[in-house]
Amino acid sequence: MSIYEEISSALQQGRKPKVEELVQQAIDEGMSPKVILEEGLLSGMAIIGEKFKNNEVFVPEVLIAARAMNAGVAVLKPHMAESDMVNKGKVVIGTVKGDLHDIGKNLVKLMLEGRGITVVDLGVDISAEDFVQAAIDNDADVICCSALLTTTMNEMKAVVEIAKEKGIRDKIKIMVGGAPITQHFCESIGADRYEVDAASAADTALELCSA
């Protein structure tokens, strides 16, 4: 097994100290930080995302794997040039106004980061105006809105409308998700994409960022 595969495997098992040790070992052996990141850490996280999508692993395993990934990235970071950082696009993410549920939104964030996307996390209870302003301020490629309540999901329509008012609708993609959201709802409010789970959301965000 190559050291990259060992890192990926330890990450999938959520073995934080082992990931830190292996990343340090790879650095000491002169491996490229960019390759350690892509072939070890990000590839391990992509496998976890796929397993999560297929119900082979569940929320706790994803959180533990993400913690291991973050620890590995922290060991790697001082050794990486700015140009080594994987930057596959930028998204702003949040849970819509009136809604405090953030477990699903946080999972989407982890999966996005695991794919090398820069994430600006706005938190919960975010107004449509704040989503759009944050997208402008951060020059984001995608706005990601999460909602868990039928009483708050209509705030997503306001995000689409305000993006139009502010003149950025043709420059930004809007993705929506969360338990009450459906493909039909996404189309009815004029958002670009709906995704059912965190791993699919990360796949779609990558696609939207590179479009």
Residues that bind ligand B1M (CB under 6 A): 59, 98-105, 107-108, 144-146, 148-151, 175-180, 195, 197-198, 201
Nearest CB to ligand B1M, comparing residues 21 and 125: 125
CB of 110 to ligand B1M, least distance (A): 10
Backbone angles phi, psi at 129, to 5 degrees: -60, -45
Q: Are 148 and 103 in contact (CB under 8 A)?
A: no
Please report where in the chains the tokens 């705030």 appear, as a residue. Answer: 155
Nearest CB to ligand B1M, comparing residues 34 and 88: 88
CB of 138 to ligand B1M, least distance (A): 16
Nearest CB to ligand B1M, comparing residues 17 and 180: 180
Nearest CB to ligand B1M, comparing residues 118 and 146: 146
State how far the Cα of 205 lies from the Cα of 117, in Å rounded to an integer: 8
Nearest CB to ligand B1M, comparing residues 76 and 132: 132
Q: Are 185 and 176 in contact (CB under 8 A)?
A: yes
CB of 129 to ligand B1M, least distance (A): 18
CB of 77 to ligand B1M, least distance (A): 27
What are the distances in angstroms from CA 5 to CA 45, 114, 186? 12, 16, 39
CB of 111 to ligand B1M, least distance (A): 8
